[in-house]
Amino acid sequence: DADVTQTPRNRITKTGKRIMLECSQTKGHDRMYWYRQDPGLGLRLIYYSFDVKDINKGEISDGYSVSRQAQAKFSLSLESAIPNQTALYFCATQMGDKSDTQYFGPGTRLTVL
Amino acid sequence: DAKTTQPPSMDCAEGRAANLPCNHSTISGNEYVYWYRQIHSQGPQYIIHGLKNNETNEMASLIITEDRKSSTLILPHATLRDTAVYYCIVLIYNFNKFYFGSGTKLNVKP
């Protein structure tokens, strides 16, 4: 969905480096999510935010942190990247109380060497 | 944990209906059934959702059994572009945490 953008789309980095993945949306949605997907597996929730002042851990938050800079921006950081964080990362947005449907960005492919 | 069971893969002939089953035998009365699909490694795409009544939209139909323990997603006339992994998800309304299992890889063949 073009209304949800992620940067970068691809990134190769080295173990120990700090990495930030960015997500922006023009849908005006309050809620935003970060997921990771490993090859052949479904998506797993890392962090989610219901509004700018609300940040919550998902099922696999260890090794990650997030920042909700504005309603439209939600960033995911890997403070010290490790090889098992190599994955496809997706950002998603959701309107809020009136709808549960989540809309996903195109994904960021991250490789940690 | 994912609360749904789906076959790992299915084949369908182009132009025919694709019927994708999902078992959610432990579903609660306030949990919705959602379907998403993921084409190659793109972001998952919303298809349809329902609570207990059958639903239809421009993409698909969702048939939920009366006891709500299983459902079927129907793509009425599958095309090659429908080749994707289809995820069935159960979700408490407004709980927001989507649990994606491994899904069903649908292969639409000419």
Answer whether A60's CB lies under 8 Å from A38's CB.
no
Name the residue of chain A whose CA is nearest to B91's CA.
A100
pLDDT score, position B95: 58
Lowest mean pLDDT among A67-81, A90-104, B22-36: A90-104
B11-33 per-position pLDDT tens digit: 999 999 999 999 998 888 888 89
pLDDT score, position A106: 94
- Between CA B12 and CA B72 the distance in angstroms is 15
Phi–psi pair at A87, nearest 5 degrees: -175, 175
Decide which of B83 and B99 is more confident: B83
- Between CA A107 and CA B42 the distance in angstroms is 7
Mean predicted lDDT score pLDDT of chain B = 90
Q: Which residues of A touch B2 (CB under 8 A)?
A: 42
**Cβ contact, residue pair B49, A42, below 8 Å:** no
Lowest mean pLDDT among A14-23, A83-92, B12-21, B85-94: B85-94
pLDDT score, position A98: 57
Answer whether B74's CB lies under 8 Å from B63's CB.
yes
Name the residue of chain B whose CA is nearest to A101's CA.
B46
**Size of chain B, expressed as the number of residues it contains:** 110
Q: In angstroms, how far is CA B91 from the centroid of its own chain?
A: 13
Answer whether A70's CB lies under 8 Å from A52's CB.
yes
A11-67 per-position pLDDT tens digit: 999 999 999 999 999 999 999 999 999 987 788 899 999 889 999 998 899 999 999
Chain B (46-105) residues lying within 8 Å, Cβ to Cβ, of chain A: 46, 49, 87, 91, 93-94, 96-103
- Between CA B47 and CA A76 the distance in angstroms is 27
For residue A101, which of B98, B28, B82 has the smallest C-alpha distance? B98
- Between CA B39 and CA B17 the distance in angstroms is 18
Answer whether A103's CB lies under 8 Å from A2's CB.
no
